Amino acid sequence: MLPPHARRVEALIEFLSELIREEEPTRGRARKLLAEVYARHCLEPITGASTGSAFERELAVAYALAEEGLGWSDELERLSSAFARERVCSKALGSMLGGASPADALGRAGAKLSRAWVSALLSYARALHYLGYLGDYELAEIFGGLARAGADAELLRFDRKLVVAHKLAQLIASGHIASGRVKRDRRRALALLFGGGREDEPSDALVWRIAVNVYGVGEREALKLLRVSRASLLSAAARAASLWYCFVASCRELEEAVSKLDPLWQEAHRVAAARVGALLPAAGPPLALALLEQAVAEGLDPDGFVAKLEGLLGTGGDPIELLLSWGVGGWKPSTLFLASRSFEVKLERGYEMVVFDRVPAEEALEAGVRGLAERLRAKLEEAVAAAKLRGKATERWLRAVALLLALEVFGRACEIRSARAERGRPAETLAERAKVGDAEIAVEVVRRGRRK
């Protein structure tokens, strides 16, 4: 597989090639097409999240590549309606680098020193910086010039955090940060370089999101240097389309499956995608397809499917728990944290239980979300057989359940790792399991020194 940067360039070239063939290449169409191409390639925008605003900014990366990397000129003239904003920013940035003030540079390009245009200018500058067409010190000069011109401080802070997070993620990916102390020192120095202070330093969660989703750093490697809570992980996963399209349903699979549905089911899928997307924004279409196929296997009609989904999600609460509550044939998947710092993953129905995996927290962290999801998917298929659910659980729904369980276990493991102190760690754990009548009893003995 190509490195992440090369994969992005390949996807952007594909996007530009398709956009130039459009009869009316509007900005709205360009943004939608870019999201489709990234979904095909399992890529996130350079902000590390697949949101509408992120794809709006990502158009600047496509334009920068076309202008600076591919040398497009006449082609960009034809695409002027799609890239009108970037064309203005390109002219303004050239003037600024030539010594003009931000107000003069934007004025010459046909814009003004407003919050919207400063945001667009910074997005374009960050795109050039990411692609290697703009150096650190040139970008620092742009930040400095905008600050002196009175640009919105919060806007500058937002973009500084993104730039610093990218630089830290690059250093982590290349192995140049080996400890938390070095990370903190580099973060402080980079924030100062781009004209900021401590309030401009990005959170560990933002650096983790960009390191993992943009630069392809392994989750375990990132966690050695960055502290990430379950809430932060869920927030990142909820906005990472590549996670759901790569594991649950690819863009092509989704298009083919939905195209074969009759109109009523297509409308049900649209409603479900919007409903699920309200909880997990980037997961709506693939998760909705998994739920829909499971509903068909259960004999529900479109109205019954939507009603059941509304009944589950309408109660409010944790998104993962809500989606897992759909269950399979009355069985509900769940996890239980044990004293031995491991997770019991099981199917439950009333007083019945099928435990299909036991995952130590360290193993969960080592595997990462995707690796853990693959492990749980294989184990889940065995559990389905044990619960006599063959034919009642669809393959795609099992994949969705495995990914949701993996997010739950990995997120909890992250919190354990952050909170755990070396003192008091269990030195040894013994476990016994026994059948007593119709019940199953689990006993654990945890030894800490002389205590049990």
- Lookup: tokens for 226: 């960055």
pLDDT at 201: 96
Q: How confident is the model at residue 429 (pLDDT cuts 50, 70, 90)?
A: very low
Pick the closest to residue 131 from 99, 166, 156, 81 (CA basis): 166
386 or 183, higher pLDDT: 183
State mean pLDDT over 212-234. Answer: 91
Q: How far is 358 from 311, CA to CA, in rounded Å?
A: 31
- pLDDT tens digits along 339-371: 889 999 999 988 888 899 999 999 999 999 999
- pLDDT tens digits along 313-326: 988 889 999 999 99
pLDDT at 293: 96
pLDDT at 114 over 80: yes
Q: How far is 254 from 277, CA to CA, in rounded Å?
A: 15
Task: Quickly tell me which residue has 């090369």 as its tokens.
Answer: 6
pLDDT at 375: 96
Q: How many domains does the chain have?
A: 1
Q: Does residue 228 form part of some domain?
A: no
Q: Does residue 21 form part of some domain?
A: no
Pick the closest to residue 137 from 148, 127, 129 (CA basis): 129
pLDDT at 403 over 70: yes
Q: How far is 210 from 319, CA to CA, in rounded Å?
A: 23
CB under 8 Å to 62, separation ≥6 — which residues? Answer: 12, 15, 16, 30, 34, 83
Task: Quickly tell me which residue has 């109660």 as its tokens.
Answer: 315
- pLDDT tens digits along 241-266: 999 999 999 999 999 999 999 999 99
256, 236 Cβ separation under 8 angstroms: no
The alpha helices in 174-281, defined as continuous H runs, are 180-193, 204-213, 219-223, 230-238, 241-247, 251-259, 263-277
Q: How confident is the model at residue 452 (pLDDT cuts 50, 70, 90)?
A: low
pLDDT at 151 over 80: yes
Give the range among 96-110, 196-210, 429-443 with minimum mean pLDDT. Answer: 429-443
Give the range among 146-155, 414-423, 435-444 with minimum mean pLDDT. Answer: 435-444
Q: Does residue 191 form part of some domain?
A: no
pLDDT at 352: 86
* Percentage of the residues of the chain whose pLDDT score is greater than 70: 92
- Lookup: tokens for 373: 């999801």
85: enclosing H helix or E strand: helix 84-97
- Lookup: tokens for 366: 């080592």
- pLDDT tens digits along 66-79: 999 999 999 999 99
Bridge partners, 332 (sequence order): 348
Pick the closest to residue 131 from 211, 77, 66, 196 (CA basis): 66
Q: Does residue 221 form part of some domain?
A: no
CB under 8 Å to 210, separation ≥6 — which residues? Answer: 46, 47, 48, 162, 165, 166, 169
Q: How far is 232 from 234, CA to CA, in rounded Å?
A: 5
Q: Does residue 161 form part of some domain?
A: no
Pick the closest to residue 200 from 247, 167, 156, 141 (CA basis): 156
pLDDT at 436 over 60: no
Q: How far is 4 from 1, CA to CA, in rounded Å?
A: 9
Task: Quickly tell me which residue has 């703009």 as its tokens.
Answer: 134
Q: How far is 160 from 158, CA to CA, in rounded Å?
A: 6
Q: Does residue 176 form part of some domain?
A: no
CB under 8 Å to 355, separation ≥6 — which residues? Answer: 344, 345, 346
Q: How confident is the model at residue 385 (pLDDT cuts 50, 70, 90)?
A: confident
- Lookup: tokens for 380: 């889940």
342: enclosing H helix or E strand: strand 342-349
Q: How far is 167 from 140, CA to CA, in rounded Å?
A: 13
53 CB neighbour count, 10 Å cutoff? 12
Q: Range of 343's domain?
A: 241-419
Q: How far is 67 from 81, CA to CA, in rounded Å?
A: 15
pLDDT at 440: 47
Q: How far is 308 from 447, CA to CA, in rounded Å?
A: 46
Q: Does residue 22 form part of some domain?
A: no
pLDDT at 327 over 50: yes
Q: How far is 37 from 98, CA to CA, in rounded Å?
A: 36
* Percentage of the residues of the chain whose pLDDT score is greater than 90: 79
CB under 8 Å to 216, separation ≥6 — which residues? Answer: 3, 4, 173
Q: Does residue 399 form part of some domain?
A: yes
State mean pLDDT over 98-107. Answer: 96
163, 129 Cβ separation under 8 angstroms: yes
Per-residue CA distances from 430 to 338, 420, 425, 427 (Å): 12, 20, 14, 10
